[in-house]
Amino acid sequence: MTSVTSMTSAAVEHETLSTAQAINRALRDAMAEDPTVLVLGEDVGALGGVFRVTDGLTAQFGEDRCFDTPLAEAGIAGFAVGLAMNGMRPVIEMQFDAFAYPAFEQVVSHIAKMRNRTRGRVGLPLVIRVPYAGGIGGVEHHCDSSESYYAHTPGLHVVAPSNPSDAYSLLREAIASPDPVVFLEPKKLYWAKGDVALGNAREPGIGTAVVRRRGSDATLIAYGPSVPVALEAAEVAARDGRSLQVVDLRSIVPFDDATVCAAVESTGRAVVIAEAAGFASIASEIAARVSERCFHSLSAPVRRVTGFDIPYPPPKLEHIQLPSVDRILDAVDDLQWEDA
């Protein structure tokens, strides 16, 4: 167990880890700290998960703490409800985004509603880990951006890290949360490495967006797998003399209106970027919120760069679906600069 418990940066241990390793470390540290934390799902035991995210947990903590379940997602989610009702902090894995759909009723009708139903008497401290989104050449049912389904359901927190350090800290906080958290893991970032601040100092917390890059001309708003793309677009734009700011939401629910609005107001222009199909999506919600709240600071309508309203494409066509640097920069070019 790590001895780092203080919030002072001097005491925080750092390590270079991939996102998958950072998530593994967060699970390991949480399990070491709290014996009620359980990890369960399909293939999370001996195999260590199809992405090796749970690698070594059964060996270290035993089969009572990290274990395989029957192949039944509704069962996994419903079983976790009972575990959480009775003193445990289950972290369940839905093997792939689209494999989580059988659990939908348990998630929407029970996990999200139990606290409200019982006037706060039964809280469900559980985490639903979902390897999600595309960009890995996956076959059908392995690449869905399913965040809107969860975010549209009152009672769920929904977070999506964009880097290994956030993956670690957001997951530690999700496990410690008294409420259910849907933890969306961008699959294409599993192998991306970065510096990770370890320990249970969780700043900034769930519900806080951060400005990843300062800029003065326009603000790009992204989360999860779209953040690195937005940062790359900002880098390219800088070479062309345009200063783009990048906001990383980190948390979809709760949504950080304050940081997003301050960022948009400081530039007067905004582009929202997300992989998910754009219609009735998180990107649309953000565009609406920004338009409602920042209308008088806007020099142009808010643009969205999202996936098309099509089922996720096969591997050889997925590059067309994913928001690209060029598509983002085209949207930025459309922000009525002639009026400036």
Partner 1 sequence: MLLDPDGRPTAAGKAALPAGEELLRGLAGMVTARRFNEQASALVRQGRLAVYPSSYGQEACQVAAAQVLADGDWLFPTYRDTAAAVARGVDPVEVLGLLKGDWHSGYDPYERRVAPLTTPLATQLPHAVGVAHAARLRGESTVVLAICGDGGTSEGDFHEALNFAAVFRAPVVFFVQNNQYAISVPLARQSAAPSLAHKGVGYGIPGEQVDGNDLAALLDVLSRAVERARAGAGPQLVEGRTYRMQAHTNADDATRYRTDDEVAGWAAKDPLVRLETYLRAEGVLDDAHAAAFAEAAEQVARRTRDGINQDVEPNPDDLFGYVFAQPTPQLVEQRALVRDELSREEARS
Residues interacting with partner 1, by CB under 8 A? 38, 64, 69-70, 72, 74-75, 77-88, 90, 102, 105-106, 109-110, 113-123, 154-155, 157, 177-179, 207, 253-255, 257-258
Cβ closest to partner 1, residue 98 vs residue 103: 103
Q: In the bound complex, what is the minimum distance in angstroms from residue 289's beta carbon to partner 1?
A: 9
Report which DSSP code applies to 110. Answer: I
Catalytic entry in 142, 152, 296, 319:
142
Q: In the bound complex, what is the minimum distance in angstroms from residue 327's beta carbon to partner 1?
A: 30
Burial of 245 (0-12, 13-18, 19+ CB in 10 A): buried
Residues 6 or more apart in contact with residue 223 via CB below 8 angstroms: 160, 162, 248, 249, 250, 252, 274, 282
Distance from C-alpha of 271 to C-alpha of 319, rounded to nearest angstrom: 20
Letter string b/e over residues 4-20, b meaning 16 or more CB atoms within 10 A of that residue's CB: beeeeeeeeeeeebbbb
Distance from C-alpha of 17 to C-alpha of 166, rounded to nearest angstrom: 12
Catalytic annotation present for 141: no
Distance from C-alpha of 200 to C-alpha of 12, rounded to nearest angstrom: 9
Cβ closest to partner 1, residue 126 vs residue 220: 126
Q: In the bound complex, what is the minimum distance in angstroms from residue 116's beta carbon to partner 1?
A: 4
Residues in a beta bridge with 251: 159
Of 61, 50, 5, nearest to 28 by C-alpha is 61
Question: How many Cβ atoms from other residues are within 10 Å of residue 213's Cβ?
Answer: 18
For residue 260, give both structure tokens: 């997003």
Distance from C-alpha of 102 to C-alpha of 234, rounded to nearest angstrom: 39
Cβ closest to partner 1, residue 114 vs residue 328: 114
Cβ closest to partner 1, residue 78 vs residue 315: 78
- Whether the CB-CB separation of 73 and 107 falls below 8 Å is answered with no
Q: In the bound complex, what is the minimum distance in angstroms from residue 43's beta carbon to partner 1?
A: 15
Q: In the bound complex, what is the minimum distance in angstroms from residue 208's beta carbon to partner 1?
A: 11
Q: In the bound complex, what is the minimum distance in angstroms from residue 216's beta carbon to partner 1?
A: 27
Residues with a catalytic annotation lie at 142
